[in-house]
Amino acid sequence: MGINALSLNSLGISQQVEETGLSFQENAIIKATEYYSQSNIPTLSDDSGLIVEALKGNPGIRSARYAGENATDKQNRDKLLIELRDSPLPMRKAMFVCVIAVIFAPNNIKVFRGEIKGSIAIKEVGNNGFGYDSIFIPENEARSMAQLTDYEKMQISHRGIALRKTSNWFSNSRILS
């Protein structure tokens, strides 16, 4: 595609941007805008998380901090499973969301969204993944995200979908020519 990606670390940027938005899109734009202002080069940022229908959209934008500011992935999963313990399987619908924001210049931002629907398992299963992967069962799948291979996961995951949309846009736009 003709793009060289640089990490924040390679640019000498260590500051964490506070996610003050009320949506995945707002947080992705906030991060992209702030890092663009520090680097002055086109910047890509994302925000992602898990939406659980029975919990009125929680953990949502607080997915990484669901059980507290310094919570581990396990603590976040445990809290979620406890909150859903009395919910029957049909009521455990969930969706992973990833929003990627790309900023090229002030007021020139493109946004790409990926989603995968599924449900929350009764207990953790699988070791290949992180976050909520071991309790998320994708639609039309009997295995958790943590039981899928990396290749299988990338084909259906919210991040894979958002990245393919981003890549397709770059490929079809004239921004790089």
The residues carrying an active-site annotation are 47
Alpha helices (H) along the chain: 24-39, 73-83, 150-156, 158-172
Using CA atoms, how far apart are residues 78 and 93, in angstroms rounded to an integer? 17
Residue type, 14: S
Maximum pairwise Cα distance, the chain: 55
- Residue 9: strand pairing partners: none
In contact, 124 and 77? CB cutoff 8 Å? yes
Using CA atoms, how far apart are residues 162 and 116, in angstroms rounded to an integer? 10
The position carrying tokens 């919910």 is: 87
Helix (H, G, I), strand (E, B) or coil at 173: coil
